[in-house]
Amino acid sequence: MKKYLLIIIFIFCNQLFSQNLTIDELINLRDSNISSVEEFLSGKQWKLIKSEEPTERNFGSIMFAYNKSDYDNSATSFVRYIYSNTSYTRRIGIQINSLEKYNSYLSRIKQVIGCKLISTKINDDGILKVYGCKGITFMVKVKSTSNYYITILDNSDYYQSYVHDENEQMDYNTLMWENSYVDTLTTTKKYFRDVQKKKIVKKIKK
């Protein structure tokens, strides 16, 4: 009897302190407006901890925490939703510290949603992997501190905001978790201009 009681307590505590969002819910939230995101997360006991209005240079964002400590800024998990009033840009990212949850998300991304690994980049604070499929990109950051970050965005947003010349490549933290700068027109135009030049050169060679 005591054994079963311990199992029940363990399951209850695990549910209480583990964040309760699926990867599919995050995908749906990315396409939602601010009100829908707030109401959905609040209904699942996520607490709004920060909000920023969009400016000419920065995107707007709202951040939520799950099981946030009353004594400091720590929490079981964080979600950040990024939006723009002047474009269709929508991003959503989640920060977790559970290896089990990370593996569950990754399995869903690869095996069910069907995304393929596009690139892997190693830097001082961890590994950044990018998975892509039709219409959507997942940027997965694994840090040595056992923190995991998953950001969901449109393919076009990813290529315009992140995939440039190596010397101009925007840092992942800037893209999602820090200032979230608006895509500069010069960088975006340069990317598409270079692509167009390559197409023209190919035609000339033919």
User: Using one digit for the tens of pLDDT, what is the confidence trace for 152-191?
Assistant: 999 989 988 887 545 445 555 555 555 444 433 333 334 3
CA proximity to 180, closest of 190, 189, 170: 170
- CA-to-CA separations, 8 to 5, 13, 56, in angstroms, rounded: 5, 9, 52
Bridge-based pairing of strands 60-66 and 148-154 is unpaired
Residue type (1 letter), 142: V
What is the structure's pLDDT at 168?
A: 43
The CA distance from 179 to 172, in Å, is: 11
Q: Work out whether the CA dihedral 55, 59, 60, 63 comes out positive or negative.
A: negative
- CA-to-CA separations, 112 to 30, 76, 102, 104, in angstroms, rounded: 19, 26, 15, 11
Neighbours of 24 (CB within 10 A): 11
pLDDT tens, position by position, 82-96? 999 888 899 999 999
Q: How confident is the model at residue 14 (pLDDT cuts 50, 70, 90)?
A: very low
Residue type (1 letter), 193: R
Q: Is 55 exposed, middle or buried (0-12, 13-18, 19+ CB in 10 A)?
A: exposed
Task: Among 7-11, 24-28, 101-105, name the one with the lowest average pLDDT.
Answer: 7-11
Residue 126 has pLDDT above 80, yes or no: yes
- Give the 3-state secondary structure percentages of the chain, helix then strand then coil, rounded to 5: 40, 30, 30
What is the structure's pLDDT at 173?
A: 56
Q: What is the mean pLDDT of residues 38-54?
A: 95
> What does residue 160 show for φ and ψ, rounded to 5 degrees?
-75, -35
DSSP element (H, E) containing 95: strand 90-96
